[in-house]
Amino acid sequence: MKQENALSRRSRQPELINPSRRTLLLGSAGAMAAVSLLGFTPLSKADEPKSLPDYAAWKDRNALIVHSANTMETHRGAIGTGVITPSEKLFVRNNLPAPPASVTEDPDAWEVRIEGVNKPATLTLAELKTLRVTTVASVLQCSGNGRAFFAHGAGGTQWSVGAAGCVMWTGVPLKDVVEALGGPVDGARYITSTGGEALPDGLDPKTLVVERSIPVKAMDSALLAWAMNDTPLTLTHGGPLRMVVPGYYGVNNVKYVKTVALTENQTEAKIQASGYRIRDVGVKGAPDQPSMWEMNVKSWVTAPLKSGQSGRNMIYGVAFGGTVSLEKIEVSTDGGKSWSPARFLGPDLGPYAWRPFVMAVDLVDGEYRIVSRATDVKGNTQPENRTENERGYGHNGWSDHGVTVTIS
Ligand SMILES: Nc1nc2c(c(=O)[nH]1)N[C@H]1C(S)=C(S)[C@@H](COP(=O)(O)O)O[C@H]1N2
Ligand SMILES: [Mo]
- Angstrom distances, CA of residue 64 to CA of 87, 91, 93, 237: 12, 7, 12, 15
pLDDT one digit per residue (tens) for the chain, 408 residues? 333 333 333 333 333 333 333 333 333 333 333 333 444 444 455 556 789 999 999 999 999 999 999 999 999 999 999 999 999 999 999 999 999 999 999 999 999 999 999 999 999 999 999 999 999 999 999 999 999 999 999 999 999 999 999 999 999 999 999 999 999 999 999 999 999 999 999 999 999 999 999 999 999 999 999 999 999 999 999 999 999 999 999 999 999 999 999 999 999 999 999 999 999 999 999 999 999 999 999 999 999 999 999 999 999 999 999 999 999 999 999 999 999 999 999 999 999 999 999 999 999 999 999 999 999 999 999 999 999 999 999 999 999 999 999 999
Half-sphere exposure of 137 (CA within 13 A, CB side): 18
Dihedral through CA 292, CA 350, CA 397, CA 90, nearest 10?
A: 70
The CATH number given to 2-273 is 3.90.420.10
- Residue pair 243/252 in contact (Cβ under 8 Å)? The answer is yes
Provide the 8-state DSSP code for 206.
Answer: G
Sign, Cα dihedral of 110, 115, 118, 120: positive
Which pairs with CB-CB distance under 8 Å and at least 24 residues apart come from 267-271?
267/190, 267/192, 267/211, 267/212, 267/213, 268/206, 269/206, 269/209, 269/210, 269/211, 269/212, 270/206, 270/207, 270/208, 271/95, 271/209, 271/210, 271/211, 271/212
- Angstrom distances, CA of residue 146 to CA of 163, 321, 326: 8, 16, 20
Nearest to 48 by CA among 34, 65, 36: 65
Which pairs with CB-CB distance under 8 Å and at least 24 residues apart come from 57-60?
57/3, 58/1, 58/88, 58/234, 58/236, 59/88, 59/89, 59/90, 59/92, 59/236, 60/86, 60/88, 60/89
Residue nearest to atom 18 of ligand 1 (CA): 92
Residue nearest to atom 20 of ligand 1 (CA): 237
Which residue of 93, 193, 228 sits with most ligand 1 atoms within 8 Å of its CB, as the best mutation to test the pocket? 93
Residue nearest to atom 19 of ligand 1 (CA): 92
pTM for the model stands at 0.89
Provide the 8-state DSSP code for 381.
Answer: B
How do the domains of the chain map onto residue ranges?
Answer: 2-273, 298-407
DSSP string, 217-285: GGGGT-EEEEEETTEEPPTTTTTT-EEE-TTB-GGGS-SSEEEEEEESS----HHHHTTTB---TTPPP
Exposed, middle or buried: residue 278 (CB in 10 Å: 0-12, 13-18, 19+)? middle
142 lines ligand 1 (CB under 6 A): yes
Q: From the CA of 290, how far away is ligand 1's center (Å)?
A: 19
Q: From the CA of 371, how far away is ligand 1's center (Å)?
A: 29
* CATH among 3.20.20.70, 2.60.40.650, 1.20.1440.230, 2.70.98.10 for 298-407: 2.60.40.650
Which residue of 71, 74, 95 sits with most ligand 1 atoms within 8 Å of its CB, as the best mutation to test the pocket? 95
Half-sphere exposure of 221 (CA within 13 A, CB side): 23
Which pairs with CB-CB distance under 8 Å and at least 24 residues apart come from 200-205?
none
50 lines ligand 1 (CB under 6 A): no
Q: From the CA of 249, how far away is ligand 2's center (Å)?
A: 7
Residue nearest to atom 5 of ligand 1 (CA): 94
Q: What is the pLDDT, as a whole number, of residue 17?
A: 33
Domains 2-273 and 298-407 share a fold: no
Q: From the CA of 123, how far away is ligand 1's center (Å)?
A: 22
238 lines ligand 1 (CB under 6 A): yes
Three-state SS for 150?
coil
Q: What is the pLDDT, as a whole number, of residue 42?
A: 47
- Residue pair 328/374 in contact (Cβ under 8 Å)? The answer is yes
Ion ligand 2: residues, CB within 5 A, are 93, 142, 250-251
Exposed, middle or buried: residue 236 (CB in 10 Å: 0-12, 13-18, 19+)? buried
